[in-house]
Structure 1
Amino acid sequence: MKILIVEDQRRLGLFLKQALTERAYTVTWVGTCAEAREALCETGYDVIVLDLGLPDGDGLDLLREWRSGGFNEPVLILSARDAVQDRVTGLDVGADDYLSKPFSVEELLARMRSLLRRQSSVKETVLQHQGIKLDLLSRTVHLNSKPIDVTSREFALLEIFMQNPGRILTRTLISEKIWESHYDVDTNLLDVYMSRLRAKLEGPLGKQVFKTVRGVGYQLL
C-alpha cells in the first residue's frame, strides 16, 4: 500500500514515515503544497495523510483543488486545528477522516486501515462514462450497449481513465500502471495504444473522448 504524507514538521514527518514503513507501507513524505501536487501527479496513492498548516498554502485549499480536479484518493486530515467546526469544514471540503494533533500512532493506523477497507469494499465492478461501459469482472467493454473488441492492454489502459474521468493522467503514471515500470517519456508505445483506443471509441461515438495534454499526458473528457 502506498501512502503519501503531507507534513511540514520535519520531526513528525520522519517519525510517521518510519512508523508506517515499519508496518510494510510504501511511504512518500513531502512538506509543501507544491511537493504534494508533484507527488500526486507522478503516481497514485492508497491513502493521503494531509496536514493543513503548510508553508506555501492551506491544506484545505489543496484538498479542494484535488477534489475539483477529479482526484478521489482517500484523504485523512492530520491537524492541530481541533475545533468541531474545523473538523466539519475538513470533512465537507472532501476529507474522508479527520484526526487532531496530538494523536496516537495506533489510532492513526487504525483509521488508515478503516479507509483502506472502505475503499476496497466500495470499488465498483462496472464503470460507465459517456456511453462507455467497462465491466471489471467479465473484462468486457460496451459502447452505447454494443460490445467492442479490445486487447488486454487496451482494457487496462481504458480502466485507468474510467477510474479517473476528467483527471489529467501523466505519461509516467499511465506507464507505471500498465507496464509496471517507468518508460522513457519519449517512447511512442503509449501513443500507439492511445491511438488504437481512440479509433475504437471516438469513431463510433462521433466525438472526442480523450484529450492530449502536451508535455504531460492524457485526459478522459
Structure 2
Amino acid sequence: MKILIVEDQRKLGQFLKQALNERAYTATWVASCAEAREALCATSYDVIVLDLGLPDGDGLDLLREWRRAGFNEPVLILSARDAVEDRVSGLDVGADDYLPKPFSLEELLARMRSLLRRQSAVKETILQHQGVKLDLLSRTVHLNGQPIDLTSREFALLEIFLQNPGRILTRTLISEKIWESHYDVDTNLLDVYMSRLRAKFEGPLGKPLFKTVRGVGYQLI
C-alpha cells in the first residue's frame, strides 16, 4: 500500500515515513503543497495523510483543489487545529477522516486501515462511462451494448481511465500501472495503445472519448 505524507515538520514527517515503512507500507514524505501536487500527479496513492499548516499554502485549499480535479484518494487530515469547526470544515471540503495533534501512532494506523478497508469495499466491479461498460469480474467490455474485443493490456489501460474519469493521467502514471515499471515514456508505445483504444471506441461513438494533454498525458472526457 502506497501512502503519501504531507507534513512540514521534518522530525514528524521522517518519523511517520519510517513507522509506516516498518509496517510494510510504501511511504512517501513531502513537506509542501507544491511537492504534494507533484507527487500526486506522478503516481497514485492508497491513502494521503495531510497536514493543514503548510509553508506555501493551506492544506484545506490543496484538498479542495484535488477534489475539484477529480482526485478521489482517501485523505486523512492530521492537524494541530482541533476545534470542532476545523474538523467540520475539513470533512466538508472532502477529507475522509480527521485526527488532531498530538496523536497516537496506533490510532493513526487504525484509522488508515479503516480507510483502506472502506476503499476496498466500495470498489465497483462494473465501470461505466459514455456508453462504455467494463466488467472487472467477467473481464468483458461493451460499447452501447455491443461487445468490444480488447487485449489484456488494452483492457488494463481502459480500466485506469474508467477509474479516473475527467482526471488528467500522466504518461508516467499510466506506464507504471500498465508495465509495472518506470517505462521509457519517450517511446511511442503508449501512443500506439491509445490509438488502438480510440479506433475501437471513438469511431463507433462518433465523438472523442480521450483527450491528449500535450507534454503531460491523457484524459477520459
Report the TM-score when normalising by structure 1: 0.99
Question: Which residue of structure 2 lines up, in the alignment, with residue 42 of structure 1?
Answer: 42
Q: Post-superposition shift, 1:184? A: 1.4
Determine whether 1:166 maps to 2:170. Answer: no
Structure-1 separation of matches of 2:107 and 2:219: 37
Distance in 1 between residues matched to 2:45 and 2:89, nearest whole Å: 23
1:12-51 pair list within 5 angstroms? 12-51=12-51
Give secondary structure in 2 for the equivalent of 1:49: strand
Matched position secondary structure for 1:162: helix
1:104 aligns with 2:104: yes
After superposition, give the CA deviation of every residue in 1:159-184 in whole Å (9 maximum; x if it has no partner): 00000000000000000000001111
- Code of the aligned partner of 2:122: V
Percent identity (aligned)? 89
Instruction: Find the aligned partners of 1:113 and 1:183 in 2 and give their Cα distance.
Output: 31
Cα displacement (A) at 1:195: 0.2
Matched residue SS, 1:142? strand
CA contact (8 A) 2:4 2:45 kept: yes
Q: Equivalent residue for 2:138?
A: 138
Question: How far 1:8 sits from its partner (Å)?
Answer: 0.3
Partner secondary structure for residue 66 of structure 1? helix
Partner of 1:115: 115
Listed as ranges, the matches of 1:67-82 within 5 Å are 67-82=67-82
- The 8 Å contact of residues 33 and 57 in structure 2, kept in 1 or not, is answered as yes
CA–CA separation in structure 2 for the residues paired with 1:145 and 1:80: 52
SS at match of 1:98: strand
Distance 2:31 2:82 in 1: 21
* Alpha-carbon distance in structure 2 between the residues aligned to 1:184 and 1:151: 21
Distance 2:57 2:8 in 1: 11
After TM superposition, give the deviation of residue 79 of structure 1 in Å.
0.3
Aligned length: 221
Q: What's 2:179 paired with?
A: 179
Superposition CA RMSD, Å: 0.5
Residue in structure 2 matched with residue 56 of structure 1 by the alignment: 56
SS in 2 for 1:137: coil
* Runs (4+) off by over 6 Å: none
3-state SS, counterpart of residue 73 of structure 1: coil
- Displacement, 1:82? 0.5
Is contact 2:175–2:185 with CA below 8 Å preserved after alignment?
no
Q: How far is the alpha carbon of 1:43 from its aligned partner?
A: 0.5
2 CA distance for matches of 1:131 and 1:151?
20
- Structure 1: stretches of 5+ with no match in the other structure: none
In structure 2, stretches of 5+ residues that fail to align are none
CA distance in 2, matches of 1:146, 1:68: 33
> Which residue type is aligned with residue 201 of structure 2?
L
What is the Cα deviation at residue 146 of structure 1? Answer: 1.1
Match of 1:65 in 2: 65
- Determine the C-alpha separation between the residues in 2 that align with 1:83 and 1:129: 40
Give the equivalent residue in structure 1 for 2:92.
Answer: 92
